[in-house]
């Protein structure tokens, strides 16, 4: 039986370090998409150093307000969160709005979303052009979004459309940028 090896660059003093698709993290603990905002909240609470990184709320090509005001509701089995959420567009990305350059903010994984394959590409282009891209460690492609050109079927429910969306995002970003596909859990078999 062989012992697991540490990721490249890890030392025995940081045994929680992991390598996920080429992204080295000091631990496997990330702030989930939408739960920790854009980093400002982490810095303000002084807990940024407790996480290896965080995933931003999903960004779109242009800023979109929510159709309804989102409210968390308690249920017997937990909390229900609205799926109709506002999104920040990459057209409004400004260094003053997102404190990613702050020293105490951990690695940033930007989540992107779209309603068409072209919109995913447009968001990736907007990220690439922005000076804040140098702080971005990886990009999450939120494929749990409805495809406006495919009867609003989720991208992650259509292998061909999901593959095309990931390929278009890859074309727009540096080859060294790790990409993660966020799938919908609303399927019979997630491995399919």
Residues annotated as catalytic (active site), given as ranges: 145
* Six-digit token string for 130: 């922005």
Phi and psi torsions of 115, nearest 5°: -110, -5
Neighbours of 123 (CB within 10 A): 29
Q: Which of 55, 51, 177, 47 is nearest to 106 (CA)?
A: 51
Q: From CA 10, how far away is CA 164, in angstroms rounded?
A: 35
Angle between helices 117-129 and 159-172 (to 10 degrees): 20
Determine contact, residues 87/63, Cβ cutoff 8 Å: yes
Q: From CA 87, how far away is CA 69, in angstroms rounded?
A: 13
Neighbours of 161 (CB within 10 A): 19
């779209």: which residue's tokens?
A: 114
Q: Which of 123, 147, 146, 149 is nearest to 136 (CA)?
A: 123
């Amino acid at each position: 039986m062989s012992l697991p090896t540490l990721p490249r660059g890890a030392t025995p003093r940081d045994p929680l370090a992991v390598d996920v698709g080429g992204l080295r993290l000091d631990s496997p603990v990330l702030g989930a998409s939408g739960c920790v905002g854009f980093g400002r909240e982490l810095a303000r609470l002084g807990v940024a150093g407790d996480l290896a990184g965080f995933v931003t709320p999903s960004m779109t090509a242009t800023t979109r307000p929510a159709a309804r005001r989102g409210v968390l509701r308690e249920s017997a089995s937990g909390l229900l969160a609205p799926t109709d959420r506002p999104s920040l567009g990459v057209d409004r990305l400004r260094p003053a709005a997102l404190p990613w350059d702050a020293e105490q903010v951990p690695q940033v994984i930007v989540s992107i979303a779209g309603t068409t394959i072209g919109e995913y590409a447009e968001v990736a282009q907007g990220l690439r052009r922005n000076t804040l891209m140098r702080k971005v460690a990886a990009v999450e492609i939120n494929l749990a979004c409805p495809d406006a050109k495919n009867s609003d079927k989720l991208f992650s429910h259509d292998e061909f459309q999901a593959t095309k969306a990931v390929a278009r995002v890859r074309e727009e970003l540096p080859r060294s940028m790790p990409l993660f596909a966020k799938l919908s859990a609303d399927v019979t078999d997630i491995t399919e």
